[in-house]
Each structure stands twice: as structure tokens, then as C-alpha cells.
Structure 1
Amino acid sequence: MSHLLRTSRVLAWLFFTGLSVAIIVTSGFYLYLRPGLPAVEQLLDIKLQTPLRVYSEDSRLIAEFGEKRRAPITIEQIPTIQLQAFMAAEDARFYEHFGVDIKGLARAAIELISTGSIQSGGSTITMQVAKNYFLSRDRTFIRKFNEILLALQIERELTKDQILELYLNKIYLGNRAYGIAAAAQVYYDKPINELSLPQMAMLAGLPKAPSAFNPLANPERALIRRNWIIRRMKDLGYITEDASELATSAPLTASYNATDVEVDADYVAEMARSELVRRYGEGAYTDGYVVTLTVNSKNQQTATDALRAGLEAYDRRHGFRGPIGQVDEDTLNERPAEELVVNYPYVASLIPALVTEVSDDDLQVRVHARGLGEAIMPFETMSWARRFKTEDLRGPALEKPSDALARGDVVYVHHRQAEPENRETPTLPSVSLAQVPRVEGALISIDAQTGAIEALAGGYSFRQSKYNRATQAKRQPGSTFKPFLYLTALENGITPASVYNDAPIVFEDDELETAWRPQNSSGQFYGPTRLREALYRSRNIVSIRLLRDVGIENTLDYLRQLKIPADNMPNNLSLSLGSGQLSPMELARGFAVIANGGFDVAPYLIERIEDATGNILYEAPETVLCDEACAARNIETDAIEEPSTEVANTNGEEETPGDTENAASDLVDTEHNNEDVRYMQRLADERSVYILHSMMQDVVRLGTGRRALALGRTDIAGKTGTTNEQKDTWFGGFNHQIATTAWVGFDQPAPLGRREFGASTALPIWIDYMKVALAGMPPQTMPRPNGIVNIRINPETGKRARPGEEGVFELFREEDAPAPIAAEDESSGGSGDGEGLSRQIF
């Protein structure tokens, strides 16, 4: 008995000694590690890495930037059964323990002693929160001890629901998905509250090993893991036996779902991204900023589609350049067709396809299109594909499919709209032959009253070329420059009735090898012409004579007054023909000034910037046209600070395709960052602008812009433009509300073809966009200002019409009206201003 007592005492002493040593060692570790542990309250302030999201003004997603997909949610938004699935998989006693599961730790310790390494961590959800937010993922004893200590602190200072919410928003679940809301989108394209029980169990199985149990990468192991979780949920009493059996028998339904971008607007997305990075640095990709742009989703999608359709139409007119690749017969027989086209990229809406059979008998081609499978290409969809030779020359017309394509050719196709249903037998999809255009273009649409960018397309495909032609391309505007020259003339007392002689003119210049003999685009001359007619018929010779009368320096000064960049404008008479350089954005802004009646316009793209919690960091100020605002507030117009209107690279460096730095510049009004209102001052006499509106409306009614009559509107004005050798083609047009400019040309300037003009290339794009942008909008015309008179004139002389004489009515500023008949000097000719002789003779 005494031996047993002595043995018991020894064991007791050994136990208490071991316990004391353990307490001392543990206390030592605690005292050593405690100072380095972070404060738990930091958890509530930590910003989860959330991507930058860009939306249209009507809340449609345009783009998402950032490596991690995450959409933080609250625990109240998560179904209870989903919470139970995660607890069954990771920590069934989560709501019972104090942050540490003793049984789990004991198991991990035994594994460590027996194997020399930790096989399973024994971590609770609280310990995983500590590790995910504060600690490294190293599998070491020190890190595990830190994890335990921090878990104990977390349990003392946070509620269980707070801990579970932090865990479910932080965990990585594969395929760049962080948090269960993002995972539900990536794997099932659903919000979390719409998932089925098998889908919830699948998500709950991912934290242990996102790669090993991923239903996309390893569906077999994922299914085993999912079913184990479902059975465990049954054992824990979370679900019934029937629900368990039904869920375990359900097939896998996971698939990869990329972010559901709702608007094809890569160029404006890139402009917004570059601005956010400029403001917030690399944190723009992780801090959850939400950017709302000024673009309307419908208008923006229309702009993208209209530009692509217009460029494709031009490209088809000039012929087929042949297949983009070819597969030899042996390879075609040995390898699957889908495998042979998988490395050819999609471009915009164009799909790569392999020609597998050409049938001249029934005039069709069979192809295998990437992602679409077998399809039929009827001959009528490829009849345009005459062989390209030059921009002005094509091969003979096609008579059969084999004239254009052969078996093994790889080409691009468009997926045609599905055939009507109710057919007795299924049919193959129908496609049409296409090719990636070499020509490029841009479209920019601005709200003329506010400067808000309504839509912007910077090229055919952003993935193919990130060069934003809307803001970066500096091109000759051609005749679309003429409205600014004519406005300068109107401001200087010349009238729409002024007559200029459209006759040959020769300029000798020592700097030129030969004399300059400018011509009209038709190559003909038409004699004395009123300015109104000269504008809508785009007479070059009249514009040259007009500039000579107004003066080159006077015109350049007026351009600067209108805030049209003059640095790249020539200081000679070629200025009248648009030989300077402007970007589509700069030209669109100039047309917006004309459209709104002569007020300044500062184009801007960003309407609002919010942080991850919804706080507004920036909001574009309200735009007020200064006539009424200045009068109401007794503000002197001259004292108003002029806002920056720069929206393209103006640092003097050469811009090259692919260089997107500074492409957007500051598309927020930084000079009015903290103001609620942006006052825009008048830049031009409203009477002169009103008269110019009338003249530019005639461009549409009677002149080179007649195609725009297809819109069936009475409030449209505009101007076509085609440069020398058809290297740049334009159409700029507007009503009182919206100003839109379209440009078409090659990135490296080259002739578009002798039959190509602004009216045939750019104007159709403009029409396709504006018929949607103006749909449902009542006519918006500039109100007639005071100080304008309407006088009947002789259309041949531009003077007042005599009683009984055939005449037309013309608009004049009061001080520029023709003199009464009794006072006219009938021998003066010209416009009746005493200075018309030079206009008629030279």
C-alpha cells in the first residue's frame, strides 16, 4: 500500500511539475509574442481587396479591374443553410468553443510527435480568421501559437457572427474568387441566396484546398468532398435524410463565369482606369472604388456597334485579303477542327473558323467556328469577297464559293441571327464571311449643354489595339474645319449673302517646288457663290478667298478664343482647307460649342467616384451656362476661372499607337473639384452662332450631308470632311443638345480610295449612332436670339431683292444687314459692303 502511495505521489509531482513547466513555457511564449500581436479592432477597419468597378450612368457594369474578385456581404445576406455548410466542413462547434478546439489541437500535436510534421492544422474558423487577416501561411509551431493567442483575443472582442462574416468574405475559393459572394458568381453565376443545397456544399468544400477540390479543375474529388459535407450536415442535424439523399445524387453544375460586363466599352473603361490609378495609385485595383461614368449604356453600345459596322462596310467595299491561316490536308484529317482554331483569337464580334468543306453545287461552305461548332456559310454572305488588289482595284466578281475559299482556310466569320424556330429538323448555325478591317476610326459624342461624354469609341477593337483614336489621334480635319472659319467671318461682319468667286487661283511660293493650284473636290469651278451655298457645297476656293479676307492671324486668334488648339495649325492659306491637326475629341468639343449656342464646353467622363463603403469621394459639378447664371448672381464673366478642357495628350510628345499613357488626361474637372457648380462662359456671339446653325442645317438639307435626312429630323446640322487624297474622312454633326463626331482613316495615313469621302465612310457611322441617341427626343433647336433680321435678297448678288425680283430670305445680324435699295451702290458688286471686288476678281 505504501508503495502504491509513493508511486501516486511521484506521478502527482511529475504531473504538477509538467503542468507548471507547460504553464511557464506557455506564459513565456505569451509574454514574448503578445507585444507583437496586432490589435483585434483592426479587423473591423481592414479593407478587403476589392476590385475597381466601372459603371455607366444607368448603372450597367462596363469593366472590373483587379486580381481578386470579391463582393463583400453581411452575414444577414447569407442563408443559414450556407453558414451551416461551412461549419460542417470547417468547424462544427464554432458557436460552442472559445476560439480554440482542444480536440483538434490535440490531434495536430499527436501527428506532429508521431510524424515530425503537422498533417492537419486543427484550426477553428476563428483561428483561420487570425491567420488570413494577420499571419503568414507558414506551417510552423510559432505561427500556430500566434494563431491561438490571436484567436483567443478575437473571441473576447468580437461576436461570433462578426467572426463568421469576416471569414466568409476573406477566404480564397479558387479562380480568383475571394469570399463566397464572388465564388457564387464565378462558379454558378448567381447571388448567394439563389444557390441550391448541393451548390452551397460545393462552395463549403473549397477552403480546405481550392485547387484540389475545385469542380472545374478536379470534378471527381470535388464531388467526393461535396457529398461528404452533405452527409456531415445530415449527421449534425442541419438537414434531413431525404434532403441529404437528394443533394448527394445531384450532378455537378459548376461552370466558369467571368464578370458579367454589360456594355462593350473598353476604351472608356481604360480612360477611367488610368484616371483612378493617377489619383489613387495601385490602391485603385484593391480598395473597392466604384466609378460612375457619364456614358449611357445604350448610346455607348450603339457607338461601339456603329463604328465597327461602318469600318467593316468600308473594308468589304475594297475586297477580301484572303484567309488568316491555312491548315494542310494531313493535319486537317488527323486533328479535331476545334483544336485547329483554338489559338486564333476572337476580335470584337468576329469568330475564327476553319473551312472544312466547299460545295460549289449548292453554293455553300461548311466551317467549324471556334466556340460555335459546325456551321454553314451561304454563298450570298461571301459574294462581296472579290480579291483585294489596291484601295482602288478589286478582282473579278465571284461566281461560286471556291472562287474565294478552299478547304483548310482559316477565316473570320460573323454568327448570323438564328433561323426561325418550329423547323421539323434541327439546322446548323449560319455564319457570314468577315475579316478584321485594316482601316480604323473613332466616334465621340458630347452633351453640348454640360460637356458630359455620352459615348466614345476609340477604334475597332481595344484588345487588338489599345490606341485610343478618339483622344490620341491628331489628324487633319479637312472641310469639317470650315465651320470655324465661317464663324470667324460672321463675327467679322461677313454674311451668308456675301458673294465670292469660285474660280481658279494660283499661289506662288518660294518654299514650294511648284505653284499651289487648289481645287474643289469635283475638280470644277462654279463662279460667283454666296457663302451659304459655298459651305453646304464645301467649295474649297471660296474658303481660301474667305480666309484671305478675314486674315490668317485673326482666324488663329479666334480659334484660341474658341479654345480650339492652334499649335498644330498652319500659318498659311491651307488652314482654310483643314490642313491643321485636331483629335476627334477636340473637334467634337468645338462642334459642341457651336451646338450649344457659343458657350464653353469642358468634356468630362467621370460623374462620380465612391469608396468601398459608398462614400462619395468626387462628384462632377453641375454645369451652368454663364449668361443666366452670371446675371442672377451678379458675377462678372471676365472674373470666372476658365476650366481646363484638355482631354488628350498635350505634353508636346509624339503620340504613337499603343501608347495609352495620358490618353484620358484629367477627364474630371480638377479645377472645380470642390465646387458644386461649374460656370461656363460665352465664347462666341450667339447671333453669329445662330446664323451658322442655319448654314450647317443646309449642309444636311441640300449639301454633302444629305444622307442624314434619313433620320427624319429638322434639328440636325453638320459638316462632312475629306482631306487631300482621302486620307482622313469626317462627319461632325449636332442638334442643340448633342454633338457627335465620327472619323475614319488608317493609323498610318494613307489614301482610303478615290471613291471614299466623309459622306460615304464617316457619315453612315454617325447616322447609325444618332438615330439611337436621338430616338424619342423632341427637336432641339437653338432659340433665335435678339438682334437678327431676316431679309429677302437676290441670290445672284447677295444684295436686297428689288420689288418683283426673284429672291430668297437670308439671316443677318442687324448691323451687318444689306443697305436699303435706295442707298446701295449697284456698281460695287460683291456683297454690297464696298469690299467685294477682290472676292469676285481674285
Structure 2
Amino acid sequence: MANKKIKKRKLNIYRLAFFLLCVALLIAGGTGIGLVFASVRDMPVLNPSVLESGASTMIYDKDGNLVTQIGIKNSVPVDLKEVPEHVRNAFLAIEDPGFYEHHGISLRGIARAAWSDITSRSIREGGSTITQQLVKISFLSPERTLKRKIQEVILAFQVERRYTKDEILEMYLNNIYLGEGAYGIQAAAQTYFGKNVGELELEEAALLGGLPQAPSAYSPYRDPQAALERRNTVLDSMARRGFIDESQAKKAKAREIKLETKEPAERQYPYPYFLDYVTDKLIEKYGEAEVFKGGLKVYTSLDQKIQQAAEAAMARNANFPPSKTDANGLLQPQGAVVVLDPHTGYIKALVGGREHTQKRQWNRATQATRQPGSAFKPIAAYGPAIEYKGMGPASVVDDIPVKYGSYEPKNYDGRYRGLITLRTALTHSVNVAAVKLLADSVGIDAAVRFASGLGINLDPSVHGASMALGGLHNGVSPLQMAGAYAAFANQGVYIEPTAIVKVEKQDGVILDQPVPKHHQAMKATTAYLVTDMLKSVVQSGTGSGAQIGRPAAGKTGTTDDGKDIWFVGYTPELVAAVWIGYDQPAAMPQAYGGTYPARIWREIMSKALSNEPVKDFPRPSGLITATVDGKSGLLPGPNTPGDALVTDLFAEGTVPSETDNVHVFMEVCAASGQLPNEYCPDRVIKPLIKLPYSVPSFVEDFNQRAPKEYCTLHGPGAARNQPGPANQLNPAIPGTTGPQPDIPTGQTKQPGQENKDKRGSENRRNP
């Protein structure tokens, strides 16, 4: 029987592809039908009144009192016949050139806009028609979903059937949001140019026509260059569509943007910097349309009493160095204040400048990042030294000249105090001590980690030892500094600052009731020890100008030539950061953190706490009091003199177990204080400090250090300086050992420097 051959059927790739395509089309079709059905089912009803209405957002203070409303009150409807043709054409050219030809949507417009955006690598033209945009701002949420797009298309067809093209264009021009709180073309003309829509020039119309795509990004107040480029794009589009000729476009492009800078009296609102900050935060989350037309109810942390005190202090010329007006009509130097409740993170007051005369003015409290000077020492040096290294207020650092590579920190007053405690170093803002603490004990990575826990993120690769004195790559804002210091006042818990407590819809439905983010940034004992040292700063140190007759802690900060001056301080109830400086950094001679900023801080806090009972910072468990040797930081030893004893606070487990090992008794020449030679007639035994390194003679405790050189006053020629029988330490004297370390003589006096509070990129000197 012959074997039968079984033929294998070859796979037809084309047939398979066709089959898969059919399956895909069926699935897509079914999904599409389902999506359309769901979109129609949830689609809002076309309500003609909604096309012409909206509600302002209401802003309340911490007690629920209405502060102001923002939104459609800045809306002035106009008839289409009052809008010049070149103004209409500016919007049509960039938003919907085929408006009068389509029936609600334009496939050609979508394709054209997509191609324009792709080739230009930027958003140059919108894909939605003017009808779709009107529907979107009137009926739909700002979310970008396929369901919302389907609803937009269906509603656009309905609007086109109900209204004429001119009616649709008129509603669009009266309702579109054009930035700076302005709804509609008339309000925008008044806002940006101080004139009515009928008076707008071609270049002004083009600027407004470019705003609907991104009002904030193209705002001439926020980014003049972006606004100029967008205006020119609109003019190009108008010329390309035949609305104007090339020569008109060229002339309009050559004209500069002349803006209205004064806020009309009828449109001003109280506490503008605080409310600008709140408005920006709302827009970030809900979008401009919802904020300005959605009728939200926004409850904030604003304390009007504190805000008024802050604004009054910032408006008082005596609280600032000699002032002048810059080219923009703003007083210089400028300033900023932020007041927080450290236990909730709520912003009680916020002032971003000495006056608020321009629209969307630069908010220096939240947007300006400046060098903090010595106000950064608790964050970069003292805080992490206590938290990570077990140090404390009585730990000792040697304030002597030091150099790290090419960086050589200097003290603001030109003095070198020698061996001092951390409390003394911080109280008097000793720069070298802070730098040595960071560089030799803490380390850059640990300092960056500690700062990060306080809401200040730094890149360790671009920071060095000067960070201890506020030498930061990008600087910090007053809001960041207030938030960081608040953790010291709040037993080590960092709470992200916030100004918004609750947001409700118009019908009372709660949209958001944010709980501020928080975490334990440091041990409670660390926070208290830093606070206790900062109390010394206010009581008897560089911050004494901030004394308010109740417990307070704080730190001054001044950069090179006084370009930035700070005072950041707190009480058990409130924390406040004050900054002063020129918008374009410039020297402020004789201006320090302990003068003008401390004065402003004192004025605000005195008024804010005027009716509050006096209380001290709560002391956490885990702290003990101990007495140590103030030159070694160790327990007193048999050679510790009485005037070297220091009693201070320690976290449990950090009290040293070793005894003082730096004090020794040595025999020296009574006249020269040097090691005696065989010709010295009088010799005395003195308690001295012995360390394995030398110090220059201008260090203030130089005469307390164990000498190395032999007496040059006595002997043949009064110049003999070689060892002899009497030139050894007396082994019978307790604490003395063999030969002493080398200690070079150095200078007899350090060149004097002005008693200034400085820090700069090269020569960091700043209390």
C-alpha cells in the first residue's frame, strides 16, 4: 500500500492580518459605541444661561470671615459690534481661522494645528474650534479625557444649531479667560492696557489674541519675552490668513508692549501678596476657569491681625536702609515676611514686598531665592552636629584660622576667640567655628540630609564648606526658611507650610480639606537644644535687637556687603522669617541681620502676641544638665580651673565620660611667659592649655596655650633660645608630661576688620 502524503496548509499572512484587523475594528467599534453612550449619558444639559454666567470665588480668613472675592467681577460684557474687526481677527487667526465655515468642529483645523505644533515643537495653534472652547469653559471640567472630548463635540454641534456665528463669537469673546483675573476682551483690554476694547491697536489685539492657549505662560507681566514672541506669532498668522498684510504685521511687531501697571482702585483687594499666593495654588490644582468662574469657597489660614501688622511693618520706611525708587517705580531695597504657626504649618501672614502697585507683582516671600547667610548655620552645622554627632551646646570648637582648599573663612569681626563652646559660637555668630563644625564633624552629605528634612533640597555635588555660612547654589525663599525654623519650634516635626485649609464648591460640597504633610525631621531633644542656643542669640548675641520681652529664639544672617540681610526667629506660638535686599543684589553698607530685619521681626511679633500669655518653649524628656570643662568639652579634671567650668544641657547619653585632658600646669618665665631657660630669675607655675597643634599669637587665648619657645628676655644677649637643664616640664606637677608640641609664634595682631556681618561666595563672613 502506497504511503499517503499529507499536505501541510501554509499560513496565509495576509488572511491573518485581515482577520486581526476585523477583530480589532469590532473591538474598537464596540468600545467606541460604549464610550459614546457613556459620554452622552453623563453629558451636561445645554443651558443657555450658563454660556453667559459664572460665580466668583470667595476667600475667607482663619475665622471664616469673608476677605474678598476673585473672579468674574472683572468681567465687562460688550456687544460684538463694539469689538473692532482687527481684534476679532486676531482671535480667529490663531484660534479658529475657519470659524465661519465649519459647523462646530473642524477636522482640517485639528490636522493643521497638530502639524503646526509638531513642526514648531511648541503649542502655536489650538485644535479646538471657538465653539468647542466656548462649550469647554461653560459646561465641562478641564480634564483631558476622550469622554470629555466626545461631550465637547456633541455640545458644540448643539450650540451651532441654536446660535448664529456672531452670537457664538460674542459669547466667546465675553467669556474666555485672558489671564490676570480678566474674563472677556473688554476686561482684558482694561487690565493690560487701561483702555476699552474699541481703542485697542493691532499689536495690542494680537497680544490678547495669543493669551487663551496659556494665559499664565504668555502673561506679559510674568514673562514679557514669551508674551512678545506669542504676539508676533499671532501677527504672522493674521498675515498668513489674509487678515492683514505683511507690512502691517512688520510695523506691529516693531512696537514695544506698553502695559498698564497700576491696579484700578475698584479692583484692588486686601492683602494682595497673601491672596496672590492662594490664587496661584488654587490655579495649580483646579485650573483658571474653575477658580475665576467656579464659585469656589476657599477657607485660608490668614490671620488678619498678623497680616496687618506685617504689612504695616513692611510699609514703614524707618524699618529699611536708605531707599530709592528703581526704573519700575518700586522702592529698593525690598523685603519680604512670612509668619507661620509652627504646630500646624498654617501661613498666618505673607508679604512679598514693601508695596503692591503692579499687577501680578513678584512675590519675594515665595518666589525669590536668596543667600541666607548665617541664618543657615542652625540648618547646615549646629542642627546636624547635635542630631548625628551627639554634640551639644557645651561641645567645644577651636576658633582659629583654617583653610579648606582655596576656601578660607573669616570671622565678621576679625577676632579669633580660640577654644569656645558651640553656644558661644552660635550666640556671637562665629563663622570659622560653624565652618569647622560642618567640614570636620558633620560632613556635607549629613548637612544636606538634615536640610532636606526641613524642606530645603540641596545638591551635595555643588556645595562645600561655605554652606555652613549660607553659601548655597540657588538660595532659599523666606517661606522655606520659616518652614525650616518652624521644625525647631515644633519639637523637631517639620510641617509643610500651607495657606489653604478647605475648598468647597458653590453648593457646599467639600472639594479638598488638605492635611499638611509632616514628618519627624530631628529628635525633639535636638530641636530643643538648638532652640536653647538660639535663645542665647536673642538674649545676648547678634539678635538682641529682636527682644520682645518674652522667650524668643532666632538667628541673624548677613551676606557679603550686606546684599542680603535676614532675621529668622520664633516663639512657642509663631515663627517668622524676614528678608531685606535689592531685587538686583547690591551692597547695603551698615545693614546687618541684627538691625533692620530684627526690628521688623520685633514689631510684627510684638503686635501678633500682644494678647497672648507669656510662655516658654516646652522642654522634652531626655535632657539633663551637666558641668564640663569649657576648653575641652569633657568632664572637669584635676587641672580644670574654676573659670573654665561650664554648665549646660545635654541629651541623655551624650554627657562625656572622659575627663579634661587639655589643662596642664607648667613652669614658665614670670616675665616672658615662655619656657624658662637657665638665666630666668623668676619662674611661676601656671595652668595652661596643651593641644597637639599650634595657633597664631593673635588668637585671643594664645597666652593660655602651652608655650614651646624658650625665654628670649634673659640670657647672654637676651637672645638665647636653646634647651637647658631647666627647660623641661616638672614631672611633679599634676597633668604635665614630656616635651610640648610645636606652636609657631605667628602674628602679634590680626589686621582689624570692620565689625560687619558678612558672607560672600569667596570670603564667607556672616553672622
TM class, shorter-chain normalised?
0.5 to 0.7
* Cα contact 2:448–2:459 (8 A) shared by 1: no
- The answer for the alignment partner of 2:57 in structure 1 is 52
Match status 1:276 vs 2:114: no
The equivalent position to 2:393 in structure 1, one of 496, 502, 506, is: 496
The equivalent position to 1:600 in structure 2, one of 494, 507, 518, is: 494
What amino acid sits opposite 1:536 in the alignment? Answer: T
1:313 to 1:445, Cα distance in 2 relative to 1, 3 A: closer
Q: CA deviation at 1:569?
A: 8.1
SS of residue matched to 2:520: coil
What amino acid sits opposite 1:713 in the alignment? Answer: R
Distance 1:522 1:616 in 2: 57
Q: Aligned residues, how many? A: 443
Q: Name stretches of at least 5 consecutive residues in structure 1 with no aligned partner.
A: 1-38, 71-133, 140-174, 177-255, 325-344, 348-435, 510-515, 624-642, 644-679
Aligned pairs for 1:662-681 within 5 A: 680-681=518-519
- The answer for the alignment partner of 2:620 in structure 1 is 785
Aligned pairs for 1:467-546 within 5 A: 467-484=362-379, 485-491=381-387, 492-509=389-406, 516-546=407-437
Q: CA deviation at 1:50?
A: 1.9
Match status 1:455 vs 2:349: yes
Deviations 1:78-99 (A, max 9, x none): xxxxxxxxxxxxxxxxxxxxxx
* Cα contact 1:497–1:531 (8 A) shared by 2: yes
Q: CA deviation at 1:731?
A: 0.5
1:137 to 1:595, Cα distance in 2 relative to 1, 3 A: same
* Cα contact 2:631–2:662 (8 A) shared by 1: no
- The answer for the alignment partner of 2:294 in structure 1 is 287
* Cα contact 1:499–1:840 (8 A) shared by 2: no
Q: CA deviation at 1:698?
A: 0.1
The equivalent position to 2:361 in structure 1, one of 461, 466, 484, is: 466
Match status 1:684 vs 2:522: yes
Q: CA deviation at 1:46?
A: 8.9
The equivalent position to 2:560 in structure 1, one of 710, 724, 745, is: 724
Distance 1:294 1:587 in 2: 19
SS of residue matched to 1:504: coil
What amino acid sits opposite 2:332 in the alignment? Answer: R
* Cα contact 2:448–2:460 (8 A) shared by 1: no
Match status 1:805 vs 2:634: no
SS of residue matched to 1:759: coil
Distance 1:507 1:565 in 2: 24
- The answer for the alignment partner of 2:595 in structure 1 is 760
SS of residue matched to 2:610: coil
Distance 2:280 2:615 in 1: 35
SS of residue matched to 1:681: strand
The equivalent position to 2:657 in structure 1, one of 819, 827, 833, is: 819
SS of residue matched to 2:349: strand
Q: CA deviation at 1:835?
A: 13
Distance 2:538 2:692 in 1: 31
Deviations 1:138-182 (A, max 9, x none): 99xxxxxxxxxxxxxxxxxxxxxxxxxxxxxxxxxxx99xxxxxx
What amino acid sits opposite 1:691 in the alignment? Answer: L
What amino acid sits opposite 2:426 in the alignment? Answer: L
- The answer for the alignment partner of 2:320 in structure 1 is 314
- The answer for the alignment partner of 1:433 in structure 2 is none
Match status 1:702 vs 2:540: yes
1:522 to 1:787, Cα distance in 2 relative to 1, 3 A: same
- The answer for the alignment partner of 2:504 in structure 1 is 610
1:781 to 1:835, Cα distance in 2 relative to 1, 3 A: farther
The equivalent position to 1:302 in structure 2, one of 302, 309, 318, is: 309
Q: Name stretches of at least 5 consecutive residues in structure 2 with no aligned partner.
A: 1-43, 76-161, 168-185, 188-263, 666-688, 697-742, 744-767
Distance 1:276 1:499 in 2: 49
* Cα contact 1:306–1:765 (8 A) shared by 2: yes
1:824 to 1:614, Cα distance in 2 relative to 1, 3 A: same
1:553 to 1:681, Cα distance in 2 relative to 1, 3 A: closer
* Cα contact 1:722–1:758 (8 A) shared by 2: yes
Q: CA deviation at 1:507?
A: 4.2
Distance 2:357 2:690 in 1: 57
Q: How large is the RMSD of aligned CA atoms in angstroms?
A: 3.7
1:43 to 1:837, Cα distance in 2 relative to 1, 3 A: farther
* Cα contact 1:591–1:739 (8 A) shared by 2: yes
Distance 1:840 1:598 in 2: 38
SS of residue matched to 1:765: helix
Aligned pairs for 1:640-659 within 5 A: 643=517
1:41 to 1:576, Cα distance in 2 relative to 1, 3 A: closer
* Cα contact 1:60–1:297 (8 A) shared by 2: no
1:486 to 1:613, Cα distance in 2 relative to 1, 3 A: same
1:839 to 1:291, Cα distance in 2 relative to 1, 3 A: farther
Distance 1:135 1:571 in 2: 63
Deviations 1:59-81 (A, max 9, x none): 444443234379xxxxxxxxxxx
Deviations 1:549-603 (A, max 9, x none): 2222222233234442113884321111110121111111110111101112111
Distance 1:59 1:47 in 2: 30
Aligned pairs for 1:329-340 within 5 A: none
1:828 to 1:618, Cα distance in 2 relative to 1, 3 A: farther
Distance 1:725 1:591 in 2: 25
Quote the sequence identity (%): 30
Distance 2:72 2:46 in 1: 27
Match status 1:743 vs 2:563: no
Distance 1:45 1:839 in 2: 83
Distance 1:617 1:798 in 2: 56
1:613 to 1:526, Cα distance in 2 relative to 1, 3 A: same
1:275 to 1:749, Cα distance in 2 relative to 1, 3 A: same
1:47 to 1:782, Cα distance in 2 relative to 1, 3 A: farther
* Cα contact 1:307–1:441 (8 A) shared by 2: yes
Distance 1:292 1:52 in 2: 11
Distance 1:582 1:840 in 2: 36
Deviations 1:700-740 (A, max 9, x none): 0010111122x1102x1000000122111001101233211
Q: CA deviation at 1:287?
A: 2.4
SS of residue matched to 2:594: helix
Distance 2:494 2:691 in 1: 33
Distance 2:462 2:614 in 1: 38
Distance 2:402 2:663 in 1: 24
Distance 1:828 1:446 in 2: 51
